[in-house]
Chain A
Amino acid sequence: MRRGLNEILRVPAGALPGVIAPTIFMLGLAAVFGKAASLDEYQGVSFLAFILPVGMLQGAGFTGAATGVNLARDIERGWFDRMLLAPTPRPVLLAGFVASASLRALLPASFLLIVALALGVGWPGLLELSIAALLVMGLAAAMACYATLVALRFRTQQAAPLMQIGSFIAVLFTTAYAPRELLSGWLGAIADVNPVTHVLEGVRQGFVGDVTWAQTWPALLSVTALVLVLGALAVRGMRRQGL
């Protein structure tokens, strides 16, 4: 975990893409589709406040994908072979990657929050922010497990787009742009079964209204299930590779 975090300290520019891309998307989408929030279904919430959580989760997704790319680079360069010699249990190795991704995901999330607050989004409150941070970290962990799985399967950095597209699809095929009532049939059906929809609604609730247990527990359950399932698959992937 410390090695993963050291990368930020030693090469801070390496963190920029994971911060800049979600920021550009958030501001760009708000500038383009901002007037959509005048529809009744948005219930008076500004489009920027509505889409801020999407940006936070995109940042979590990019951070998770970056973890997988780093692992693929370590595999290509032989660094990971050296770790095979250590007696460290494989789940512990995975936990290190995942923990660093979770903490790093707070960087883009914090930046997006500062930008959104500066542009007039209301302060959600400490409890609301804590829940949002927990969910963002959880999704980053889940995406890191997914990216680890891809890295172990393909063992090359060229699989990076596959890692990124996974989080991209997971976050955007939800109630990302509009409330459930406005989604077209097929997208609504996907959003209904996509566990990240619950995570997104859990992050969003504090920015658009009040935090309720009814919206929080599905989000926590979804992110926990994603981490457990994808984590188990990643550990199995490690063992299959002889790692």
Chain B
Amino acid sequence: MRRSVVALARRALVNALRRPQFLAPLVLFPSLFLAINVGGLGATRQLEGFPVVDGFLDYQLAAAMVQSLLIGGVTAGIAAALDIEGGFFDRLVASPTPRIAIVLGRVLAASVIAFFQVVYFLVLGLVFGASIKGGVLGVACVLAIGVVAGTGFGAIGVLIALRARNASTVQGIFPLVFVVLFISSAFFPLDLLSAPADTIARYNPLSFIAEGLRQPIAFSNKAGPVIEGLLAAAGIAAVSIGLSLLALRGRLRRA
């Protein structure tokens, strides 16, 4: 089973590299947003209630990471849907490949891509003057939360692909990425959000993930937010992988 998962993950990664038009949005849009947010709204650090940070970039890096990881999830879903549309999924089912590997292979690929997404934004931040307050341990925490979150978002993409069966439908959920992101504390402190976004953001798992990513970058290696971020990411990953496997089973029964 492990060999099947790795082989399918490798295939997914190779296909992703062959289609840069799918990879570019993962870093291009979040990078542009990061630049505009930092360049346009840096003065909001003066607002009462905004935490003390060395730079607005330090604060916004986590938001860019979360945004990129969410788009990565949509991209994984589109790729999975294209496999279903193109018939590769049916050929896999007809082969002796373990069924569970069909989902786990795609999810593993999403994890690998998530790692590089987080690394990209860490390097981007350092190049443009951000500093990682938590040091090497902080970087490890950020990578851990980012990879687990990316795994979960990738599994959500696969889940949607298995239910929708076509890439256009999966692509249609792209605006929802921004809806979920805007009703979290990814971009701005919770206490400074407008109603009703502030209420929703308190319970939004993305808020915990964003705060977990932000803590080691902008503040310190305080355990609380990091652990909460990791648990939120792990919870999303566990639930979405489980639901993906259920969706796969349902699809195979209908076939």
Taking Cβ atoms with an 8 Å cutoff, the residues of A that contact B are 17, 20-21, 24-25, 27-36, 38-39, 41, 158, 161, 165, 168-169, 172-173, 176-178, 182-184, 186-187
- Interchain CA distance A177-B192 in the complex, whole Å: 16
Given contacts A28-B178, A161-B24, A169-B32, contact A36 B39 (CB under 8 A): no
* B interface list, Cβ under 8 A from A: 21, 24-25, 28, 32, 35-44, 46-47, 175, 178-179, 181-183, 187-188, 192-194, 197
Does the CB pair B175–A33 fall under 8 Å?
Answer: no
Query: Considering residues A27, A29, A35, A176, which has the most beta carbons from chain B within 10 angstroms of its beta carbon?
Result: A35
Given A21-B175, A165-B28, the answer on whether A187 and B36 have CB atoms closer than 8 Å is yes
Are A176 and B36 neighbours in the complex by a CB distance under 8 Å? yes
Give the distance in Å from the alpha carbon of A4 to the alpha carbon of B178 in the complex. Answer: 29
Which residues of B have CB within 8 Å of A17?
Answer: 175
Q: Apart from A24-B178, A28-B181, A31-B182, list 9 A-B contacts with CB within 8 A.
A: A24-B175, A29-B182, A31-B197, A33-B44, A33-B188, A35-B47, A39-B44, A172-B36, A178-B43
Let me know if B194 and A38 touch, CB within 8 A. no
Cβ-neighbour of A158 out of B21, B44, B47, B178 (below 8 A): B21
Bound-state Cα–Cα, A187 to B38, Å = 9
B175 cross-chain contacts in A, Cβ below 8 A: 17, 20-21, 24
In the complex, what's the smallest C-beta–C-beta distance from B177 to chain A, in angstroms?
10
Contacting pair A30 B32 (CB below 8 A): no
> When A35-B192, A39-B43, A178-B41 are in contact, do A28 and B36 touch as well, CB less than 8 Å?
no
Closest to B38 in A: A184
Whether A35 lies near B194 (C-beta < 8 A) is yes
Top 5 nearest A-B pairs (CB, nearest first) are A28-B182, A187-B39, A177-B40, A31-B197, A34-B194
B39 pairs with A32, CB closer than 8 A: no
A36 touches B41 (CB 8 A): yes
A173 touches B47 (CB 8 A): no
Chain A residue with the shortest CB-CB distance to B40:
A177
Residues of A within 8 A of B193 (CB): 31-32, 34-35
- CA A217 – CA B86 in complex, angstroms? 54
CB distance from A56 to the nearest CB of B (A): 17
Give 27 pairs: A residue, B residue, CB < 8 Å, sorted on A.
A24-B175, A24-B178, A25-B178, A27-B182, A28-B178, A28-B182, A31-B193, A32-B188, A33-B188, A34-B194, A35-B188, A36-B47, A39-B46, A39-B47, A158-B21, A165-B28, A168-B32, A169-B32, A173-B36, A176-B36, A177-B37, A182-B40, A182-B42, A183-B40, A186-B39, A187-B35, A187-B39
